[in-house]
Chains A and B, each alone.
Chain A
Amino acid sequence: MAWKKTALAWIAGLTLAAGSLTAVAQQAGTQFVGITGYRVGPYGANGAAFFGGFTDYLQLVNARDGGINGVKLSWEECETEYNTAKGVECYERLKARADTGPTAIHPMSTGITYALLDKAPADQVPLITFGYGRTDATDGRVFPWVFPLMSNYWDAATAIIKFIADKEGGEGGLKGKKIVLLYHDSAYGKEPHAVLEAEAKRRGFDLEMIPVPHPGNEQQSQWLQIRRIRPDWVILWGWGVMNATAIQTAQKVGFPRDRMVGNWWAGSEIDTEAAGPAAKGYYAASLNLAGKKFPVVQDIEKIVYGKLNVGGDPKLIGTVLWNRGVAAAMFTLEAVRTAQAKYGKKPMNGAQVRWGLEHLDLSAKRLQKLGFGAMLPPIKVSCENHGGSGEVRFQQWDGSAWQAASDWMKGDSALVHRMIEESAAKYAAEKGIKPACLGG
């Protein structure tokens, strides 16, 4: 049985490859960035855009600036398939790849974030959860190693309500109105419930919450219910195929799309393009603007895609999630730069990057200089506030692209702040953590 032997030989050969599994692969003197990404599986399209932008920005910084203050970047991406167990495996693998650790990890999945919540502080690896993950981790005194940068789900929920109120004629405009929350029936979808209920009570609108079971590729019954309720607005809290289906089914039951507001995981081209013309007029809260007009995007197109030709799929350039990936990479590198100012121009380790993140200050001027311009709001992180902004901006799908439909705006930050402190305190008590700021 020659082929059985061949197979065995191959398996043996593969086993040998495992020997190099834990070897330090980093080229000496570079800042190694470990990436736990996903480009296959049900959310592969989302991951391909986000991590495409992420690595493209790393390429750009290497090629255009020669790294950060002369420290070149190296990186490795490990495929998680959005699967928690695989994410942990990737994290452990990447962590051991360089003496300085993986810089900072963007898990891009709630499940992986939670699984790393205890591991990361023990390993001194900062986690950046840009628009997902544990909301109360915004309190850096309880979660010193987790950075839900910019805005969290509760910020988004209150901002959406404010946006709707503005459309309905200001502060008191929501009294007696009906709003339906159509949510992915999972932990993620339940995230905004408490905030929205508080808002409903305060502003005096009726709130109905309708769950859509995973994966959400069939929503006939939910939308017939919505048709019967006749709400003034529908908030879409979806993920993956559920978003496109919701928009299509809204058209099917004749619900106007310009009375639908999604959150930022329901607001990318992936969601609207799949729904076709039905999506025209649909709003979404965004963490970042879409488009190619920002200098950094043009630089990437020119250098990474043009001159070097090492980019990914050029169709993704300038899409919402791709831009978000670029922004996420920029956060990581700016934290490194901030840390370098204190610790010297060499590769930074986890603890130093953490310090850099906690002192990250991206003013409008700084963002301008980095080429991001209006893509992001100014962000100033502190120990008490690991988010640093809390602002979102609304975009509307015009049938072919996302267009800004509001200014950067904040929801009810007092309410969000109170809830975060309560929740973080509860977690601290459960875990026996004494809230305190970590120093340098």
Chain B
Amino acid sequence: MLYREAGQFKTSYRADQQIFPILQDRIGMLVLGFVALVGVPLVASEYWLTAILIPLLVFSLAAIGLNILTGYAGQLSLGTAAFMAVGAVATYNFQLRVPGIPILVSFLLGGGTAAAVGAVFGLPSLRIKGFYLAVATLAAQFFIPWLLVKVSWFSNDSASGVITTQPVEILGFTFDTPLRKYLFALVVVSVLALVAKNLVRSHIGRAWMAVRDMDVAAEVIGIRIVRTKLVAFAVSSFYCGIAGALYAFAYLGSVETDGFNLDLSFRILFMIIIGGVGSILGSFLGAAFITLLPILLDVALTEGATALGLQLPSGMTSMVQLVVFGALIIFFLIVEPLGLARLWQIAKEKLRLWPFPH
């Protein structure tokens, strides 16, 4: 009843092709934007900002990056964390070594560096596909952190190799409190997500999908495979690079190269699989799911044990959590292999008919 598109007529191509063609969606997005910009800062505690919302935004961005490559262009990659590391370290170094450079320019340059590195490691995709490519991207995952640790210039010769990032300052305004950092991350991620959404609807995005669905056919209709694949790698790495920079500057405040490990790459891959391959919305949903699930499990288990008056053997909770997390992932893949984005789609279709199912 509420969510019905009947009566909304499109009179121009422009109107027909906007991102949210349905009025209710537009209202929904506005409300969501309002809540994120105004509502959250009013109610969220420091814990929610620092420990949940900021990482959620950062991981969403990284997931969008990987989704561009895997979901839209069909190239499986296990090197996401390495490209994030490149972005973080490059941004730090631009900020450190170029005097007076605005931080946003550093971010863009950091992302650009990651894009360049990503394109280089994308070269094998011209020859190989599928799991062979996935394992090949592991070369990036192992080589890049090694290089970043080995050349101490990257970390400004700090004895421990861990970088403490510079403050984020734009036009004299410092983003130092959790709330300010959250707003900074929110704006960066929103803008980039909007760009990504438009990118995948443009001719580039359609070329990616054509290559994903059948590369030979794509070539036949005049898509240049080499360029399309490399652009996908570059754009994807750009997003991951920015996400890495945000991870360092807005979230942790430090860069420890060893933190950008294979586990992180897997986590981000999980996000897009659970969220929905080939969906920008899914990237956000997946990031939320993977970030929140372990915390919820932890809290639920501890609370449950306290409520029931049980004293779990120390350490047992952590292991049970791991078991449940693994089981839930499998369960979820079985129940909805197309991801949360698909669930959302189903919900929308049901909503369209509600409350008269026939």
Contacts and interface: CB of A to CB of B under 8 A. Distances in A.
Interface in A8-46: 13-15, 17-18, 20-22, 38-40, 44
Interface string A72-94: 00001111010111101100110
A55 B161 CA distance: 32
A363 interface: no
A92 B46 contact: yes
Interface string B228-272: 000000000000000000000001111011110001000000000
Contacts of A134: 160
B322 to A, nearest CB: 6
B51 A114 contact: no
Contacts of A341: none
A22 B48 contact: yes
Contact of A85 (B55, B159, B313, B315): B55
A111 interface: yes
Say which size band chain A's interface belongs to.
35 or more
A366 interface: no
20 contacts: A7-B335, A17-B303, A18-B295, A22-B48, A39-B319, A44-B315, A79-B298, A79-B317, A79-B318, A92-B50, A114-B164, A115-B252, A119-B253, A187-B162, A187-B258, A190-B152, A194-B159, A213-B146, A312-B315, A431-B164
A191 B47 contact: no
A117 B47 contact: no
Contact of B295 (A89, A187, A430): A89
Tell me the dominant secondary structure on chain A's binding face. helix
Contact of A111 (B47, B164, B258, B313): B258
A7 B343 CA distance: 13
Interface string A46-57: 001001100100
Given A39-B319, A88-B51, 13 more contacts: A17-B299, A17-B303, A21-B47, A40-B321, A44-B315, A51-B314, A78-B298, A85-B252, A89-B52, A114-B254, A119-B50, A136-B159, A187-B258
Contact of A4 (B161, B319, B335): B335
B132 interface: no
A273 interface: no
A83 B263 contact: yes
A117 B159 contact: no
A99 B177 CA distance: 20
Contact of B319 (A40, A52, A115): A40
Contacts of A188: 160
A114 to B, nearest CB: 4
Interface of B: 45-48, 50-52, 55, 146, 149, 152, 155, 159-162, 164, 251-254, 256-259, 263, 292, 294-300, 302-303, 311, 313-315, 317-319, 321-322, 331, 335
Contacts of B317: 79
Given A55-B314, A96-B45, A118 B161 contact: no
A186 interface: yes
Q: Name, among B48, B160, B303, B313, the residue most crowded by chain A CB atoms within 10 Å (CB to CB).
A: B160
A220 interface: no
A135 interface: yes
Contacts of A55: 314
Contacts of A39: 314-315, 318-319
Contacts of A83: 259, 263
A4 B298 CA distance: 23
B314 A22 contact: no
Contact of B149 (A4, A52, A111, A185): A185
